């Protein structure tokens, strides 16, 4: 059976149960505060960045077999960058408010 999806959002909804299962696994392994969107974005930005056509079974397999250590490293780097960005935004706002 061949599936075609018109958008990433449509595919996301279709594989949401697999993303939820991976989230539960990561939580059991001690990776807390993870969202299914974090797993999805990791796969889009790291695993699927080449843009190749994937079958639905490949997508689900990739979700369930995410390398937990690499994913955790990705999260740490991403949250660090986000923290720096938030800090810079607060600093800019404070400087603007002083003027």
Residue 39 lies in a domain: yes
Distance (Å, whole) CA 77 – CA 1: 38
Q: What is the pLDDT of residue 84?
A: 64
The total number of structural domains that make up the chain: 1
pLDDT, tens only, 37-60: 999 999 999 999 887 778 899 999
Q: What is the pLDDT of residue 54?
A: 84
Residue with tokens 């935004």: 89
Residue 22 has pLDDT above 80, yes or no: yes
Higher pLDDT, 66 or 98: 66
Residue 3 lies in a domain: no
Residue 2 lies in a domain: no
Q: What is the pLDDT of residue 79?
A: 82
- The range of the structural domain enclosing residue 92 comes to 8-98
Residue 82 lies in a domain: yes
**Residue 41: HSE in the Cβ half-sphere, 13 Å Cα cutoff:** 9
Residue 1 lies in a domain: no
pLDDT, mean of residues 6-28? 94
């Amino acid at each position: 059976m061949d599936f075609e999806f018109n958008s990433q959002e449509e595919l996301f909804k279709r594989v949401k149960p697999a993303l939820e299962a991976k989230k539960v696994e990561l939580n059991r392994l001690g990776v807390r505060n993870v969202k299914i969107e974090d797993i999805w974005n990791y796969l889009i930005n790291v695993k699927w960045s080449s843009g190749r056509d994937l079958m639905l079974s490949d997508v689900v397999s990739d979700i369930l077999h995410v390398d937990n250590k690499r994913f955790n490293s990705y999260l740490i780097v991403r949250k660090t960058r986000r923290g720096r960005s938030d800090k810079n935004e607060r600093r800019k706002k404070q400087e603007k408010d002083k003027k």
